[in-house]
A = this chain, B = another copy of it.
Amino acid sequence: MRDSSIKHYQLFDALHHDSLLAMSFLNEICGRYPEAISFAPGRPLEDDFNHELLSQYLETYIDYLRRKLNYSEREIARVLFQYGKTSGIIQPLIARHLANDEGIIADPDDIVVTVGAQEAMLITLRVFCTSTRDVVLVPEPCYVGIVGAARLLDITIVPVKETHGTLEVKSVAEACESARKEGLNPVLLYLVPGYANPSGVCLSLEARLALLRYVSEHKLYILEDNPYGLFAREGSATVATLKSLDSEKRVIYVGSFSKTCFPGARIGYLYADQHVEGFAGGKRISDVFSSVKSMLTVNTPPIAQAVIGGMLLQSDCRLTTRNRRNIKRYSDNLLTLAKALHDNFSDASDLSREVNWNLPDGGFFTVVNVPFLANAAALERSAQRFGILWTPMQDFYLEKGGERSLRLSSSLLSGEEIQQGIKRFKEFVISEVALQQHQ
């Protein structure tokens, strides 16, 4: 054993948390079974991905700098190549998108462009959690990104169980009260109000207004993460973002272009209109966010911003219009998946009675409850023997929970793949139940 090898306990502790290791395992197993039908990753459709478009998007943005903003060629080169403003370069275009698609009227100076929504979450946690007593409330099952960001900063997460297909104010209030009894100080409530990952839950307008009232009364802030908001299922109405309803300035809004444009740009942003007092770096909370961002990544690559800027310009900053075909596909896929599950699990058998699922109002994810442990070992058997991949729901729980359910993502599949995949899934379920009865 070499002297240079480092024991794991000498390294950052949070890395050893189960859900993070589970993600590594999931990536690893997806890599090992590339031919499997994969219901695992929450990825957007790839039909529009064509590398020749990149130069076109860039050219569109450069043309905008040249003709609309009267930049010289030298200034254009400097914006794209040199160090630049920490807050970013495409905030005016993001503001137009927010007005067109989300009903949010934003001052571009209140926007900070980030390296994906992940950096935006990390910045917000860092700014708002100032003592070890400050905690973040997160609906459970949880998106792993917020868990990772909090662990990186050693910030405690308090889970709030989703109940009755929503996040009830009662649950938030109970979690807050019990945290306070333990001497903790709830500061932020993280939410994906539209078609949450992994549960698919969409909060109703009433639920959103009730949560806004609660945080106003109790001086919390909401961190609203909205990557899927534009992807309502056909027949389901889009619900207003919390930020558009935020008369008391209690919401920090995190946006992402990973699903509405493409993930590889790694472009997200923070929009927040709170004012701050006594901070020498500026009067807006966005100035504080920029200060923290400068310690993380200095600024977001302008070339990646320019590509997204070009995409926004080409669609007149209207991403609902731009995504019309994809929104239809995501909706069709959710319905195809629900029908395939119904077709395979609706007879009067014991098995069918024990398999059930939700039909989300939009987004990428469906949760299926099964009568066996949907863990890593089951996933390995599913991949190897039946050629399908999915995500164990237990990976989205902080401690216990989700052991007998799994997440199916239908976003990236064709209708045929979904039907074929669910046929295989039934065989897998039968096999797991038999295996369990043997043991």
Binding site for B on A (CB under 8 A): 1-13, 15-16, 20-21, 23-25, 41, 43, 46, 49-51, 54-55, 58, 62, 73-74, 76-84, 115-116, 118-119, 122, 126-130, 145, 148-149, 151-154, 248-250, 258, 262-267, 274-282, 285, 288, 291-292, 294-304, 307
Contact = CB atoms under 8 A, between A and B. Distances in A.
Given A24-B291, A276-B8, A116 B76 contact: no
Number of copies: 2
A4 B298 contact: no
Contact of A303 (B83, B127, B307): B307
Given A297-B119, A302-B264, A274 B21 contact: no
Given A6-B274, A115-B115, A12 B292 contact: yes
B281 A24 contact: yes
Nearest to A307: B303
Nearest to A118: B298
Contacts of A127: 11-12, 15
A278 B8 contact: yes
A24 B78 CA distance: 20
A83 B256 CA distance: 13
Contacts of A43: 82-83
Contacts of A296: 118-119, 122, 152, 296
A46 B82 contact: yes
Contacts of A115: 115, 297, 301
A149 B304 CA distance: 23
Given A43-B83, A58-B54, A122 B295 contact: yes
Contact of A275 (B4, B73, B148, B297): B4
B5 A274 contact: yes
B152 A292 contact: yes
Contacts of A4: 248-250, 274-275
A62 B55 contact: no
A310 to B, nearest CB: 12
A145 B83 CA distance: 14
Nearest to A187: B10
A391 to B, nearest CB: 14
A326 B259 CA distance: 41
B77 A295 contact: no
Given A20-B291, A148-B295, A301-B264, A7 B278 contact: yes
Contacts of A277: 1, 5-8
B301 A6 contact: no
Nearest to A287: B24
A81 B118 contact: no
Given A78-B46, A274-B6, A276-B6, A54 B15 contact: no
**Most interface-central of A76, A122, A266, A276 (chain B CB within 10 A):** A266
B8 A149 contact: no
Contact of A6 (B25, B80, B275): B275
B11 A279 contact: yes
B81 A288 contact: no
A51 B23 contact: no
